[in-house]
Amino acid sequence: MPSSRIVVIEDEHAIRRGVADALRASGYAVAEAVDGVRGLEEAVRRDVALVLLDLMLPLRGGLDVLADLRKARPSVPVIILTARGSEDDRVRGLKMGADDYVVKPFSARELLARVEAVLRRSVARPAAVPAARLGRAVIDFERREVRWPGQDRTELSETESALLAFLVSNWERAVSREELLSNVWGIEPQGLETRTIDMHIARLRGKLRDPSGKRPLEAIVTVRAHGYMAGPDLRPLEAAAAAGGA
C-alpha cells in the first residue's frame, strides 16, 4: 500500500533502521522516533496510517505512549514490537487497544506481512453490515462509534470495529477464533495463538456496556471450545428494525 505513512518508535538503532529500510523498500513513507515523547508527537499526526511501537523506550514507556495515542487517535492501528518473554506487557498492550504484536527477533518478511494485514483491515470495512443495533444504541461501522441515546458516544478502533462487524455479519452463528484470525486479522491461523482475539473481545465488551447502567447487555457471547458470536442484544440494524427493535 504505497504512500501509507508509518511511524516507527524504537530506540535500538539497528532494529529501527532495519524496520524503516524494509518499509521504505516496500513503498511506505516512514517517520522514525527514538523515544516515547518524540514518538507520540509523530504518531498523532493526521496522515499516519499505522504505528510500530516498542514497549521499552526512554523518556516515556511504550504503554504510556499507547494510552495517550488511544485518547488522541483511537482509530490509528498499532503493532507492538516486543521482546521475547515479555508476555505480561503484550497482554496489557492488547487490552489497551493494540491491534497486533511482533516478537523480537523478527524477520522483515513477517513484519511486512503483519503491517499489510493491519492496513488491509483499516481500508476494507465490511460493507454488508454498515450498522448494528445494541439495545438502545446504534453502532456505526463507517464512523467506528457506538451512539447511545442522548450525547454518549463510544469510539472504536479499526480492529474493534472490524471484529464487531464480522460478528454482526454472522450474527446467527458462532465464529471460531481461527475464522476471526483469517477474516479480521488477515493472517493464516495455523500454529498461531489466539489470545490476541480474546483480549480484543474483552476490551470490546467493556466498551459495549450501556453507560446508563439500566441493564447489562449481552453483546458478545463466548461459545465454549469454539469461539464467539453476536449476543441476543446485538444484531444488524435491518434485522432489529424488522423485529421492532429500532
User: How many domains does the chain fold into?
Assistant: 2
Average pLDDT, the chain: 85
pLDDT recorded at residue 226: 86
Q: Are 186 and 231 part of one and the same domain? A: yes
Give, for 14, the enclosing helix (H) or strand (E). Answer: helix 13-25
Q: Are residues 92 and 192 in the same domain?
A: no
| Residue-number span of the structural domain to which 27 is assigned | 5-123
**Which pLDDT score, from 0 to 100, does residue 14 have?**
95
- If asked whether residues 39 and 118 sit together in one domain, one would say yes
pLDDT of 6 higher than 50: yes
Name the domain boundary from 123, 141, 158.
123
* Per-residue confidence (pLDDT) for residue 212, from 0 to 100: 79
Kindly state whether residues 76 and 148 are assigned to the same domain. no
pLDDT band at residue 127 under the 50/70/90 scheme: very low
Which range of 16-25, 39-48, 97-106, 136-145 scores highest in mean pLDDT? It is: 16-25
**Residues 146, 119 share a domain:** no
Question: Can you give the pLDDT at residue 188?
Answer: 66
Residues 51 and 81 in one domain: yes
> Are both 25 and 107 inside the same structural domain?
yes
* pLDDT of 157 over the 70 cut: yes
Gap between the Cα atoms of 107 and 195, Å rounded = 22
Q: Using CA atoms, how far apart are residues 231 and 227, in angstroms rounded to an integer?
A: 12
Amino acid identity of residue 100, one-letter, is D
Most confident of 37-51, 148-162, 174-188, 203-217: 37-51
Q: Which pLDDT score, from 0 to 100, does residue 189 have?
A: 60
Provide the pLDDT for residue 192: 56
State the alpha helices, DSSP H only, in 61-215.
62-72, 87-95, 108-123, 158-169, 177-180, 195-207
Question: Mean pLDDT, to the nearest integer, of 16-27?
Answer: 95
> Which residue among 123, 146, 161 closes a domain?
123
Is residue 85 predicted with pLDDT exceeding 80?
no
Q: Are residues 154 and 207 in the same domain?
A: yes
In angstroms, the Cα distances linking 55 to 62, 72, 98, 104, 193 are: 4, 19, 12, 12, 20
State phi, psi for 217 to the nearest 5 degrees: -105, 135
pLDDT tops 80 at residue 238: no
Indicate which CATH number applies to the domain containing 211.
1.10.10.10
pLDDT computed for residue 136 by the predictor: 87
213 shares a domain with 151: yes
How large is the average pLDDT for residues 113-132? Answer: 73
Distance CA 41, CA 210 (A): 33
Specify the CATH number for the domain of residue 76: 3.40.50.2300
Q: Does residue 118 sit in the same domain as residue 144?
A: no
| Res. 73 pLDDT band, cuts 50 70 90 | confident
Residues 12 and 58 in one domain: yes
Q: What percent of the chain has pLDDT over 70?
A: 88
Tens of pLDDT along 7-20?
A: 999 999 999 999 99
222 and 184 together in one domain: yes
